[in-house]
């Protein structure tokens, strides 16, 4: 294990490092870039900085060729991602979001794998009005992207535990603690005047260099690991004993991104440091895990700069020791807990206070009206009643939440009128356990399709499952358009990872609960080969599995342990 970075690694800072330190508190020349009407793009350094404000410059990849032929600039637009710790918004906020999506973006509301929403296709001139409109709803996009802490996730369903609300509130506290201190967002997007001395307040967490790379924090409330807690840079598991929240187990070093052909990059699950018994200590530990990554992380090679690489370079024990030294206290031995599932609790459920929840399946997290299925309109009608909150899940689904018993019928009627409850009830188990990342046409890193393709592939897999009587098996299938793992394909039971247009590596052997990564089984499969391979695997599974053995465990035993 290499402990220290070499001199050249310390000196050869990546170009993004210079952009951050010279950005004047993440301002750069964003104002100038935004007012330049001759291009839909931002200046190069501002394309990096705008991420810290929750935005990505993108282009319509479906139209690149046409634009090239016409010798036109690519069709640039912006994706805005909101910061919604724990993924909870009010009905009023959903109504506002619906209208903002219609006015400024493609209209589709995309629920992400980190429990928030994104809007795509916003023109440069419309970015400011969009952010301003969100601000009137008390929603912001600060630090939703960039080399800072991202949206903090938390188990979504309040029925998981009577203590859910308490744990859920902690996600917002962590998010607040980790916000950058610069006032740039308010000046650039909301035109707020600031006096000079207040513009760049001291930022002891991020200083002026921010983190070497993005950082993610997730909180799980056992028994559900719906947040996929171990894929986070910092993983928190609520420890509930005798009906009391005793504290949290804390781990660090999760992350799923890798690069095809670069063996130095890999997916990794978080290593557990131990248990802490108070919110105060947990906040301190989270803070110091971040400062260690800030000070020891690799700033020369962005492919190797996530916390997972720092922890493997230093060693888990040394990383933990550094955190303890900075905290002034030690981690206790990790407490026991049990995860029994990671899927969402579809349909109606009631919590301990008698409130009702309807979890609806949103395929690939895309809320839109499509053909006969008017999901977006139906959800607007639900929101307009003011009788349900909206909770996003890390499986890209939506919970209509906190509904009083006397309001349930009104909501149920709207869901039925718009085919929403029916759609969720009818979707197959495989479909309801699927995730696909965005990929084409907006993701600049996509090598293959994902959200536009997985639904039709599942339609072809469903009859194969039925042939072997496996249609009710909760097999977790995930597809990503590249190995970055945004749809968490590296810890699915069936992971399909894009290698080129129409081609995927097939990964198998992940477990159902998200505590084990999968491994590559076959490379560069086209659709026919995927179907043929799955057919043979399902046949084998149906005949030779041991009782209660999941598909992931079966493939691990019969393929990788043979
Ligand atoms: Fe992601 C980059 C979309 C969750 C790992 N991710 C991207 C970008 C921004 C592409 C880019 O850099 O230009 C994608 C924008 C696509 C688009 O058009 O909208 C993108 N990531 C997404 C979302 C929207 C996928 C989805 O369909 O839901 C998810 C947004 C989450 C959010 O709300 O914050 C999303 N990304 C994830 C996850 C899963 C998670 O966090 O639970 C991962 C794996 C976990 C991890 O971080 O390791 C993930 N995204 C990446 C990576 C790989 C990072 C790495 O360590 O190598 C990249 C590429 C990068 O950062 O260079 C990336
Ligand atoms: Fe884009 Fe790859 Fe992430 Fe999919 S996994 S959204 S293709 S970066």
3-class DSSP string for 402-466:
EECHHHHHHHHHHHHHCCHHHHHHHCCHHHHCEEECCCCCCCCCCCCCCCCCHHHHHHHHHHHHH
User: Residue 548's Cα: distance from chain center in Å?
Assistant: 30
Ligand 2 binding pocket includes 480 (Cβ within 6 Å): yes
What's the CA gap between 384 and 387, in Å, rounded?
8
pLDDT, position 6: 61
pTM of structure: 0.97
CATH number of the 55-141+343-427 domain: 3.90.480.10
Distances (CA, A) of 420 to 24, 174, 185, 379, 390: 48, 34, 37, 9, 15
**DSSP secondary structure code for residue 101 in this structure:** H
Sign of the torsion angle spanned by Cα atoms 452, 455, 460, 461? positive
Given a contact cutoff of 8 angstroms between Cβ atoms, the answer to whether 88 and 168 are in contact is yes
Which pair of tokens denotes residue 310? 């720092």
Strands (E), 284-368: 347-350, 356-360, 366-367
Closest ligand 1 atom to residue 145 Cα is: 34
What's the CA gap between 474 and 430, in Å, rounded?
6
Ligand 2 binding pocket includes 454 (Cβ within 6 Å): no
Distance 486 CA to ligand 1 centre (A): 4
What's the CA gap between 467 and 470, in Å, rounded?
8
Q: 1-19+143-342 and 431-560 share one CATH topology?
A: yes
Kind of pairing between the strands at 398-403 and 373-374: unpaired
- Mutate-to-test residue for ligand 2 from 111, 453, 480, 489, highest number of ligand atoms within 8 A of CB: 480
Which pair of tokens denotes residue 108? 């589709």
Q: Which residues does residue 78 pair with via DSSP β-bridges, in sequence order?
A: 57, 122
Distance 286 CA to ligand 1 centre (A): 22
User: Residue 163's Cα: distance from chain center in Å?
Assistant: 24
What's the CA gap between 253 and 199, in Å, rounded?
33
Ligand 2 binding pocket includes 438 (Cβ within 6 Å): yes
What's the CA gap between 158 and 489, in Å, rounded?
26
Distance 135 CA to ligand 1 centre (A): 24
Ligand 2 binding pocket includes 499 (Cβ within 6 Å): no
- Residues having CB closer than 6 A to ligand 1 are 56, 58, 79, 81, 112-114, 116, 118, 150-151, 214, 216, 228, 231, 255-257, 306, 365, 396, 437-438, 442-445, 484-488
Closest ligand 2 atom to residue 439 Cα is: 7
The closest of 427, 27, 17 to 187, measured between CA atoms, is: 27
Fold (topology level) of 431-560: Sulfite Reductase Hemoprotein; domain 1 (3.30.413)
Identify the residue whose tokens are 């499969």. 525
Given a contact cutoff of 8 angstroms between Cβ atoms, the answer to whether 122 and 77 are in contact is yes
Per-position pLDDT tens, the chain of length 562: 444 566 555 679 999 999 999 999 999 999 999 999 999 999 999 999 999 999 999 999 999 999 999 999 999 999 999 999 999 999 999 999 999 999 999 999 999 999 999 999 999 999 999 999 999 999 999 999 999 999 999 999 988 788 999 999 999 999 999 999 999 999 999 999 878 878 889 999 999 999 999 999 999 999 999 999 999 999 999 999 999 999 999 999 999 999 999 999 999 999 999 999 999 999 999 999 999 999 999 999 999 999 999 999 999 999 999 999 999 999 999 999 999 999 999 999 999 899 999 999 999 999 999 988 999 999 999 999 999 999 999 999 999 999 999 999 999 999 999 999 999 999 999 999 999 999 999 999 999 999 999 999 999 999 999 999 999 999 999 999 999 999 999 999 999 999 999 999 999 999 999 999 999 999 999 999 999 999 999 999 999 999 999 999 999 999 998 7
Report the residue count for the chain. Answer: 562
b/e map 373-405, b = 16+ CB within 10 Å: bbbbebbbbbbeeebbbbbbbbbbbbbbbbbee
Ligand 2 binding pocket includes 257 (Cβ within 6 Å): no
What's the CA gap between 430 and 156, in Å, rounded?
21
Distance 325 CA to ligand 1 centre (A): 32
Distance 75 CA to ligand 2 centre (A): 19
Which pair of tokens denotes residue 30? 């964003």
Active-site residues: which are they? Answer: 81, 150, 214, 216, 437, 443, 482, 486
What's the CA gap between 299 and 303, in Å, rounded?
10
Distance 315 CA to ligand 1 centre (A): 26
pLDDT, position 194: 79
Given a contact cutoff of 8 angstroms between Cβ atoms, the answer to whether 171 and 223 are in contact is no
The residue contributing the CA closest to ligand 1 atom 31 is: 114
pLDDT, position 5: 62
- Mutate-to-test residue for ligand 1 from 42, 86, 101, 113, highest number of ligand atoms within 8 A of CB: 113
Report phi then psi at 66, rounded to 5.
Answer: -60, -45
Distance 136 CA to ligand 2 centre (A): 31
Sign of the torsion angle spanned by Cα atoms 144, 145, 146, 148? positive
Ligand 2 binding pocket includes 458 (Cβ within 6 Å): no
- Mutate-to-test residue for ligand 1 from 146, 264, 484, highest number of ligand atoms within 8 A of CB: 484
The interaxial angle of helices 408-417 and 375-385, nearest 10 deg, is: 160
Nearest ligand to the CA of 235 is 1
**DSSP secondary structure code for residue 43 in this structure:** P
CATH number of the 1-19+143-342 domain: 3.30.413.10
Distances (CA, A) of 451 to 77, 108, 425: 19, 13, 21
Angle at alpha carbon of residue 283, lines to 279 and 287, rounded to 5°: 170
What's the CA gap between 312 and 265, in Å, rounded?
12
What's the CA gap between 347 and 159, in Å, rounded?
12
The interaxial angle of helices 454-467 and 527-544, nearest 10 deg, is: 30
Burial label for 538, CB within 10 Å (0-12, 13-18, 19+), is buried
Instruction: List the chain domain ranges.
Output: 1-19+143-342, 55-141+343-427, 431-560
Q: Which residues does residue 58 pair with via DSSP β-bridges, in sequence order?
A: 77
For residue 310, the tally of other CB atoms under 10 A from its CB is 24
Ligand 2 binding pocket includes 435 (Cβ within 6 Å): no
């Amino acid at each position: 294990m290499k402990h220290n970075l070499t001199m050249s690694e310390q000196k050869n800072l990546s170009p993004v490092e210079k952009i951050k330190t010279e950005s004047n508190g993440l301002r750069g020349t964003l104002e100038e870039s935004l007012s330049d009407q001759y291009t839909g793009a931002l200046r190069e350094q501002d394309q990096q900085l705008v991420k810290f404000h929750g935005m990505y410059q993108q282009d319509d990849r479906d139209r690149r060729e046409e634009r090239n032929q016409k010798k036109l600039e690519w069709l640039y637009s912006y994706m805005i991602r909101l910061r919604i710790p724990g993924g909870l918004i009010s009905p009023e906020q959903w109504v506002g979001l619906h209208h903002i999506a219609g006015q400024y973006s493609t209209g589709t509301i995309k629920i992400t794998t980190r429990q928030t929403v994104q809007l795509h296709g916003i023109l440069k001139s419309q970015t400011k009005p969009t952010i301003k409109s969100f601000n009137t709803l008390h929603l912001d996009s600060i630090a939703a992207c960039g080399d800072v802490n991202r949206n903090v996730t938390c188990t979504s369903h309040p029925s998981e535990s009577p203590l859910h609300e308490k744990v859920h509130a902690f996600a917002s506290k962590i998010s607040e603690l980790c916000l950058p201190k610069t006032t740039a967002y308010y000046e650039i997007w909301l035109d707020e005047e600031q006096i000079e001395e207040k513009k760049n307040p001291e930022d002891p967490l991020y200083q002026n260099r921010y983190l070497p790379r993005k950082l993610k924090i997730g909180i799980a409330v056992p028994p559900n690991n719906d947040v996929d807690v171990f894929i986070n840079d910092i993983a928190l598991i609520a420890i509930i004993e005798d009906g009391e929240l005793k504290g949290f187990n804390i781990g660090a070093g999760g992350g799923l991104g890798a690069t095809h052909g670069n063996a130095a990059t890999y997916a990794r699950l978080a290593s557990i440091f131990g248990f802490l018994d108070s919110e105060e200590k947990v906040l301190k530990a989270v803070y110091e895990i971040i400062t260690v990554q800030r000070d020891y992380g690799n700033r020369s090679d962005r492919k190797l700069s996530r916390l997972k690489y720092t922890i493997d370079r230093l060693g888990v024990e040394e990383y933990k020791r550094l955190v303890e030294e900075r905290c002034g206290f030690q981690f206790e031995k990790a407490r026991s807990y049990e995860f029994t599932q990671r899927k969402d609790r579809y349909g109606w459920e009631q919590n301990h206070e008698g409130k009702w929840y309807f979890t609806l399946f949103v395929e690939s997290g895309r809320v839109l009206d499509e053909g006969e299925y008017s999901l977006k309109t139906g959800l607007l009608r639900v929101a307009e009643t003011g009788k349900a909150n909206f909770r996003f899940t890390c499986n890209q689904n939506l919970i209509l939440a906190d509904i009083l018993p006397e309001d349930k019928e009104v909501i149920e009627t709207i869901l039925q009128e718009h085919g929403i409850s029916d759609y969720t009830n009818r979707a197959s188990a495989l479909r309801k356990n699927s995730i696909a990342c965005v990929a084409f046409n907006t993701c600049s890193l996509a090598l293959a399709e994902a959200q536009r393709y997985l639904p039709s592939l599942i339609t072809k897999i469903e009859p194969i499952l039925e042939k072997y009587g496996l249609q009710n098996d909760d097999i977790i299938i995930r597809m990503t358009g590249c190995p970055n793992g945004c749809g968490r394909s590296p810890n699915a039971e069936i992971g399909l990872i894009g290698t080129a247009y129409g081609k995927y590596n097939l990964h198998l052997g992940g477990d159902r609960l998200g505590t084990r990564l999968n491994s590559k089984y076959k490379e560069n499969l086209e659709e026919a080969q995927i179907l043929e391979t799955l057919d043979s695997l399902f046949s084998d599974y149906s005949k030779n599995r041991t009782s209660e053995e999941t598909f992931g465990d079966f493939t691990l035993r019969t393929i990788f342990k043979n």
